[in-house]
Homo-oligomer: A and B are copies of this chain.
Amino acid sequence: MTKVQPVNQTWIDQAWARQHRLTKPPGALGALEEAGVRLAAIQKTLRPELGPGAVVVCAADHGVAAEGVSAYPAEVTPQMVLNFLSGGAAINQIARASAAEVYVLDVGVRGEFPAHERLIQAKVREGSGNIAVEPAMTTALAMRAFEAGAQAAERAIGEGATLLAAGDMGIGNTTAAAALTAALLGLPAEAVTGRGTGVDEAGYARKVAVVQRALSRASATLGDLAKADPLEILAELGGLEIAAIAGVYLAGAENGLPLVVDGFPVTAGALLAVRLDPAVRDYLFAGHCSLEPGHQRQLEALSLRPLLNLGLRLGEGTGAVLAFPLLRAAAEVLSGMATFEEAGVSGS
């Protein structure tokens, strides 16, 4: 594994200097200006350019679904994988509108799929363990799922992606994401557990209790979770697709691409990638803020301000890919605008 290169502060400073000479009042483009500056630093140019994007939708099943923590039955995971492949899911439409390719990575879905051009078959196990009672996986399997994500990112980049996101699919995965986030950020279960795709009141109470049991079990093994090795936390609490998502972000950052995080399970993976290499943070943009309460805590921990706030709670990478056009606009603004001098416009 190569190391992620932090972005250079000199590029940040130079990009801000250019931003302030452009024909607009300083700061008048708000969050778009910071985004443009960071794109410049990532691409090491004052004229950043973004072409096609890609989203790697990482899919896996979760043993914890047996605890009744989701509004949907576990068979929805493979059904939705087929829906992604036939182009009928939300992420397919949003990716088309945002000029992005969709790759589907099976790292742990129960069942087999026919071969498909956009399906990356890298199943390491049929679903993770039930984290309420057992580890999600071994650290060896966590590493394999992580590597599968990294390789999927490499493929997307090799096929032309200039902007990358991960998506998630896995019934039960907001429970795993809650346990991981609580462990990584040292927060109680209630602070990071939400209703996922729509669990009812009783289901929500079960979900909080399951996250608490998973955290107790993991800390009995690993001791203080806030000090534990991130790979061991991932193996205890994670989902296979969350391991893959961490791999997508680490490989994306190693390749110097701007990376967009999506909702709660995806940002759990991004948080793991940042724990593995803090320089990954320099490449991350937050696509949106989801309705999951733990997502806000993750974004705060990463010091990311979401570009969108549309009340999304779907996953699949939808909120990340929706933000691709905003990042393209941010790059165009910094690259293409005239300065006050060039345009002969009087400054304030």
Contact = CB atoms under 8 A, between A and B. Distances in A.
Interface of A: 22-32, 71-73, 75-76, 79-80, 82-83, 86-90, 92-94, 96-98, 197-198, 291, 307-314, 318, 322, 325-326, 328-329, 331-333, 335-338, 342-348
A30 B313 contact: yes
Given A97-B329, A343-B82, A29 B75 contact: no
Given A87-B336, A93-B335, A29 B343 contact: no
A308 B309 CA distance: 7
Contacts of A335: 93
A83 to B, nearest CB: 4
Contacts of A92: 336-337
B30 A198 contact: no
B310 A30 contact: yes
Contacts of A97: 325, 328-329, 331-332
Given A313-B30, A325-B325, A329-B97, A342 B88 contact: yes
Contacts of A344: 79, 82
A39 to B, nearest CB: 12
Contact of A311 (B23, B31, B82): B31
A83 B332 contact: no
Contact of A310 (B31, B82, B311, B314): B31
B94 A329 contact: yes
A198 B25 contact: yes
Contacts of A307: 310
B25 A71 contact: yes
Given A82-B343, A83-B338, A345-B76, A333 B30 contact: no
Listed from nearest, the 9 A-B pairs whose CB atoms lie closest are A88-B338, A30-B311, A325-B325, A93-B332, A97-B329, A28-B314, A25-B197, A71-B348, A31-B310
B23 A80 contact: yes
A25 B313 contact: yes
A299 B141 CA distance: 52
A326 B333 contact: no
A329 B32 contact: no
Contact of A348 (B72, B89, B325, B333): B72
21 contacts: A23-B80, A23-B83, A24-B89, A28-B90, A28-B197, A29-B310, A29-B312, A29-B318, A30-B310, A72-B346, A72-B348, A76-B345, A79-B345, A86-B343, A89-B337, A89-B338, A90-B337, A92-B336, A98-B329, A309-B309, A325-B326
A308 B305 CA distance: 13
Contact of A346 (B22, B76, B326): B76
Nearest to A343: B83
A10 to B, nearest CB: 24
B88 A23 contact: yes
Contacts of A308: 308, 326
Nearest to A74: B346
Contacts of A86: 338, 343
Nearest to A87: B336
A320 to B, nearest CB: 12
